[in-house]
Amino acid sequence: MELKRILARDSRSANEKAIQLYGNDVLIISSQRLDNQIELIVATEVDPAVSPAAHSPLQSSMASSASKGQQPFVPFSQMLDEVNTRQDLDVSDDGLTQHHEKWPSPSPAPSASPVTSGARLSSGHESQRSLEIVDMLRQEMASLRKEFALSRQMQPWQDGLRLSPVIQPLFQAMNEAGIPAALKALLTDSIQSLDSMGEALAVMQDLLVTSLDRPAFDLQPRLAHALCGPSGAGKTSMVGRLAHAAAQKEGAEKQAMVSFADHRPGAWAQMQLLASQSGVDCYRVADAAMLGTLLEDLQGRTVWIDTCGADFSAQAEILQLQCPQVLRHAVLPVDATVTSVQKILQNPSADWSSLMLSKVDEAAHPWALVKGLTENSLPVSWMAGDSRIAVQAQPFDARSWSNWH
């Protein structure tokens, strides 16, 4: 992929020039005014074919690393090409990205020592995480293309708007904030007949609150709750925060924290540290069978289960099939990407008990999540900002959250 710069007298001319030069699927990265012109930065596909001689140093290095028993370095471009050849990506009419996997079935691994097995698990996690990042990048690109196409289709409607001069700055602010085209059109349509900034803001807030409002959800004690979500969503901190609050209310002896199939380096140490801060017992299990046995021993306690972020949807399905007594809760940061929101809120096979929102105080552009919540009625149980587990999570309130952002 290569970035190109386009200069034109206005946005319409810049868009037309980009389409003329690079086709209808061109992806616009940024747009800004520069010296009375519009500067457009676009991303274009380039031919990935490279001469064999250019690859010989890399192949020699990989062969040398493999001969020394080290895991060879795989560049990002090569991994992206590998994913592109092994997966077919389709974007349906509703924007949900679908995948058709073509991965070969894994061969059974030979027996190894515990140290080697641990290293293999860690290496396997890193490899899976790398492929997940590449896959997420491809999905984000597909979503951006779809969003750009929708914005282009709505351009004639926007040009025909007759907004009051007082409302024009608000419309420009929505453009700069990166609000999705469909949500922006809904908000703009609700204020186009108004001529007061205060009235327009109130109408927009009421519309968002009505769309985001949903019934309250309370986490029941003496049950098992598993938190699932993408890497970096704040699942471990949320587990520690909920366990700490429950320990303060009901007693630490009635709580338990479990790390489920998480082979990340340092994950278990972090779980132990959080458990020691709240005085709660913590356990570590490798698969669903061990988790089922542990839950039988922990009957009568509230169990908080932390899961790995790599391929979290598959982990949630395993828990649903093999441990149906476990309530599964999705965790998303407020500034989650479009792909993460789609995986959780637009997945018809996922049967989440609730959604938890993290990093509320860090979110700059929560619009992907806002759009997802306006199209889904999944209850939101808790929301938290501060990473310290002593700061309790707060119940979701649509009006206070809209005031925050």
On whether the CB atoms of residues 327 and 280 are closer than 8 A, the answer is no
Query: pLDDT at position 293, please?
Result: 95
Alpha-carbon distance 389 to 139, whole Å? 33
Judge whether 108 lies within some domain: no
Residue 234 sits in a domain whose CATH number is 3.40.50.300
Question: Residue 1, Cβ neighbours under 10 Å: how many?
Answer: 12
Report the range of poorest mean pLDDT among 26-40, 51-65, 168-182, 289-303: 51-65
Segments forming the whole domain that contains residue 36: 2-47
Write out the DSSP string of 128-180.
HHHHHHHHHHHHHHHHHHHHHHHHHHHHHHHHT----TTTHHHHHHHHHTT--
Judge whether 363 lies within some domain: yes
Residue type, 338: V
Residues 191 and 231 in one domain: no
Query: pLDDT at position 387, please?
Result: 75
DSSP letter (8 states) at residue 223: S
Residues 171 and 301 in one domain: no
Write out the DSSP string of 70-93.
PPPP--HHHHHHHHHHHEEEEE-T
On whether the CB atoms of residues 14 and 8 are closer than 8 A, the answer is yes
Residues 247 and 338 in one domain: yes
Judge whether 142 lies within some domain: no
* Average pLDDT, integer, range 332-360: 89
Give the closest residue to 9 by CA, choosing from 40, 44, 45, 50. Answer: 40
Residues 190 and 303 in one domain: no
Report the range of poorest mean pLDDT among 68-77, 133-142, 216-225: 68-77
Query: pLDDT at position 3, please?
Result: 75
Query: pLDDT at position 130, please?
Result: 66
pLDDT at 107 over 50: no
Query: pLDDT at position 327, please?
Result: 96
Residue in this structure with the two tokens 């409302």, named with its chain if needed: 167
C-alpha to C-alpha distances, 224 to 50, 180, 202, 242, 352, nearest whole angstrom: 53, 36, 41, 12, 14
* Average pLDDT, integer, range 222-235: 93
Judge whether 8 lies within some domain: yes
Question: Residue 21, Cβ neighbours under 10 Å: how many?
Answer: 12
Query: pLDDT at position 42, please?
Result: 81
Choice between 239 and 57, residue whose per-residue pLDDT is larger? 239
Average pLDDT, the chain: 78
Summarize pLDDT for 274-315 with one digit per residue, the tens: 999 989 999 999 999 999 999 999 999 999 999 988 889 889
DSSP letter (8 states) at residue 106: P
Residues 193 and 321 in one domain: no
Choice between 114 and 284, residue whose per-residue pLDDT is larger? 284
Q: Number of H helices and number of E strands within the chain? A: 14, 13
pLDDT at 108 over 70: no
Report the range of poorest mean pLDDT among 19-23, 267-271, 354-358: 19-23
**Taking the model in full, what pTM does it have?**
0.65
Helix (H) or strand (E) holding 114: helix 114-159
The structural domain count of the chain equals 3
Report the range of poorest mean pLDDT among 130-144, 245-259, 371-385: 130-144
Judge whether 259 lies within some domain: yes
pLDDT at 272 over 60: yes
* Average pLDDT, integer, range 158-163: 75
Query: pLDDT at position 54, please?
Result: 39
Summarize pLDDT for 66-89 with one digit per residue, the tens: 444 444 555 555 555 554 454 444
Summarize pLDDT for 35-58 with one digit per residue, the tens: 678 888 887 776 545 444 334 333
Domain boundary among 212, 243, 277: 212
Judge whether 238 lies within some domain: yes
Residues 198 and 228 in one domain: no
Residues 308 and 361 in one domain: yes
pLDDT at 389 over 60: yes
Judge whether 204 lies within some domain: yes
Alpha-carbon distance 201 to 191, whole Å? 9
Q: Could you tell me the sign of the dihedral formed by the alpha carbons of 218, 219, 223, 224, in that order? A: positive
Judge whether 95 lies within some domain: no
Residues 179 and 327 in one domain: no
Residues 236 and 362 in one domain: yes
Q: Which of 66-75, 118-127, 312-321, 364-373 has the highest mean pLDDT?
A: 312-321
Q: Provide the token pair at 208.
A: 């968002």
Choice between 193 and 63, residue whose per-residue pLDDT is larger? 193
Strand pairing class (394-395; 2-8): unpaired
Residues 195 and 249 in one domain: no
Residues 388 and 343 in one domain: yes
Residues 33 and 178 in one domain: no
Alpha-carbon distance 124 to 58, whole Å? 22
